[in-house]
Amino acid sequence: MRADLIARLGENVPRYTSYPTAPHFHPGVDAAVCRGWLQALNEGDEISLYLHIPYCDKLCWFCACHTKQTRHYEPVRAYLRSLHAEISTVARLVGGKGRVRAVHFGGGSPTMLEPQDMVALATVLRNSFAFLPGAKISVEIEPNDMDEARLDALAEIGMTRASLGVQDFDPKVQKAINREQSFLQTKAVVEGVRSRGVESVNLDLLYGLPHQTRDSVASTVAQALTLEPDRIALFGYAHVPWFKKHQTMIDEAWLPGPAERLAQSQLAAQAIVDNGYEAIGLDHFARPGDALAIAARAGALHRNFQGYTEDRCETLIGLGPSSISQFRQGYAQNMPSTAEYGRVVADGGLAAVRGIAFSDDDRVRGWIIERLMCDFAFSAIDLVERFGEQGQRLLLKASSVALNDPARLLELDGDNFVVPAESRPFVRSIAASFDTYFESGKSRHSVAV
């Protein structure tokens, strides 16, 4: 790789699962604002729901999610009462408008829930919102949680996609991140969900973890491929100990450097593609017949807080502490404190405490960033046709980026601005050049690759 590109490997930039990004949310978007946005939904709107389960029975050192460890189930049971209360309040404000196209259970560890509680939660959702026929139900699964009763419960709620956290199968790496999970455990869960009719299985893999080498990453990928997943997400470990204190349990001397991280990601990606998967955006892969691959080929790929998705819903309602909702008007995020969240929703209140309302400038920059992250390109004609004068102004910015960056990370090809193949690992850095908040902000982010 060129020396000028190697020098950019360590740049700290956002992951761009939203624009503007969460560090720029502010308390001006509060519960009252969120209430108005919920009430403004239209009858024909399609919506997605995200439910956050902020508990794990064991804390993984690599994790940057909002979660806490508990060895007892009572805090989880109490939390579920709060979550049911929030669902009731939100559904009342929505007032029967909108139809649910997708539900995502995330965490934390949603599969920590007792089987009867998972079924009860799904039942509350279906009784509170109108679901479209064939609505997709995806669940993040921690294989160490799983047993036959939980597998049966997931089948009962109509789970259509299982997403299993693998990270790495090497015992030395697993010990360093406090996530011990055998290949056989993972295989048993994959077989268990498939035997119950689940149509899609995703595996999450990580590179850049402590003690990882190219050989160990290659071994993990090879084992993962034997499970024949429908999708694979290949993420770079985000070492952000200033944000997540438990990551200080990972000795930074154990971490691979920027060039090694890139080599690991490229080696893993090539092995996955060589096995018949299509590369999707920056870090996802899917079988050609998978809905994600079909959306990518059609230019209909999107990006939200769960990563790349074929979900086209303009409205995403986040439920639970720290959850983020997306409306056509902007983003709203719930308070992170589980205790405070419980007190607020018990009284019929909304938990939103921060967010951001979209300006016209936000909308055009957000569109450019999403297209870069999804397609590695955007059309100059489409930009101007969609956004008029605002698009014309950003067209000048794009031309400046393409002409003045000595690394040539973005090029003009006819009427399209395109990220060349060799520059695609740096697409987050390219997106950052269109991020007006990043240019003036002081937030800390993870490394670019």
CATH of the domain at 218: 3.80.30.20
In this predicted structure, the answer to whether residue 65 has a pLDDT above a threshold of 90 is no
Q: What mean pLDDT comes out for the span 117-121?
A: 98
In this predicted structure, the answer to whether residue 445 has a pLDDT above a threshold of 80 is no
pLDDT tens profile 315-352: 999 999 999 999 999 999 999 999 999 999 999 999 99
171 found inside a domain = yes
Helices 183-195 & 148-156 angle (0-180, nearest 10):
40
In this predicted structure, the answer to whether residue 8 has a pLDDT above a threshold of 70 is no
68 found inside a domain = yes
- 171: its two tokens: 């015992």
Confidence of residue 180 (pLDDT cuts 50, 70, 90): very high
Give the residue ranges of DSSP H helices in 196-337: 214-226, 258-274, 291-297
pLDDT tens profile 17-27: 999 999 999 99
Contact 293, 6 (CB under 8 A): no
357 found inside a domain = no
Helices 338-346 & 74-94 angle (0-180, nearest 10):
50
425 found inside a domain = no
Q: What mean pLDDT comes out for the span 382-395?
A: 97
DSSP state of 88: H
pLDDT tens profile 213-226: 999 999 999 999 99
Q: What mean pLDDT comes out for the span 106-128?
A: 97
Domain that holds residue 279: 14-319
Q: What mean pLDDT comes out for the span 49-77?
A: 91
157 found inside a domain = yes
Query: For residue 250, what are the CA distances in angstroms to 49, 207, 255, 434?
Result: 34, 15, 8, 33
Contact 282, 427 (CB under 8 A): yes
What's the pLDDT score for residue 446? 56
In this predicted structure, the answer to whether residue 7 has a pLDDT above a threshold of 80 is no
pLDDT tens profile 403-441: 988 888 999 999 999 999 988 988 999 999 999 998 765
Q: 0.75 cut: is pTM over it?
A: yes
CA distance 447 to 356: 25
Structural domains of the chain, count: 1
pLDDT tens profile 230-277: 999 999 998 888 878 888 888 999 999 888 998 999 999 999 999 999
pLDDT tens profile 426-435: 899 999 999 9
309 found inside a domain = yes
- Of 30-39, 221-230, 255-264, 279-288, the range with the lowest mean pLDDT is 255-264
406 found inside a domain = no
What's the pLDDT score for residue 100? 98
CA distance 350 to 138: 25
175 found inside a domain = yes
Confidence of residue 66 (pLDDT cuts 50, 70, 90): confident
What's the pLDDT score for residue 443? 56
